[in-house]
Amino acid sequence: MGQLEGKTALVTGGSTGIGLAAAERMAAEGAHVFITGRRKAELDAAVETIGAEAATPVVGDIAKLDDLERLYQAIGSRGQGLDVLFANASIGEFVTLEDTTEEQYDRHFDINVRGTFFTVQKALPVLNDGASIVLNSSVNADQGAPAFGLYAATKAAQRSFTRTWANELKGRGIRVNAIMPGPTETPGLNGLVPADQNTGFKQGMASSVPLGRLARPEEIAATVLFLASEQSSFMTGSALYVDGGSTQV
């Protein structure tokens, strides 16, 4: 029997990268996984990877409350509530303080902060007592990487949400924890710089990691599974660093 046998899970941003890896792993452990994202073609491809019987795609943008309402209506209509919520969807780009535009600021905070906030708030009516919420924060929340200030600030907000929501939801036995991934081989990482700079960019990032490489999405997904399952039953408000030692040694 899998660690999530008979459970229902939701992964936002579940069509690629860490989100897809987490959805695959939870489905392999027995969960039925709802995945959401903005692009139907990518969601459909993700369902083929996960397995059509184990996954339900719902196209939507977490920054749009109507899309979130529709998502939770779909989950509620299944009649089994929600046991695991992995709030993973986010964006990031390099932009300095001097060069940041109002549009860039609003996009980061609309998706990463506002979107995450309402993803969790709107889930409350369908979340089962004893459920697990996992937020995808980042080691960047603790660092001052140049030109990554907008992204880092939004991830610090998510880490703060983790502590507060763990306290607010403890009466229902709902645990709230965060993962703090280091640099991970994902399409999102590849999109941070022009394609012709990707190799050197990733080599530079890998050289800053004590283990000497980038993480694989499957390694981050294993940590998500741990926090989603009863293996972490005495943990809430915590942040687990999965960064190859980047912030630890």
Active site residues: 151
Distance from first CA to last CA of the chain, Å, rounded? 37
CA–CA separation, 3 vs 136, rounded Å? 20
Which residues, including other chains, have CB under 8 Å from residue 179's CB and lie 6 or more apart? 134, 135, 136, 137, 220, 223, 224, 227, 239, 240, 242
Sign of dihedral through CA atoms 98, 101, 106, 109? Answer: negative
Which residues, including other chains, have CB under 8 Å from residue 196's CB and lie 6 or more apart? none
Angle at which helices 17-28 and 217-228 cross, to 10°: 50
Amino acid at 2: G
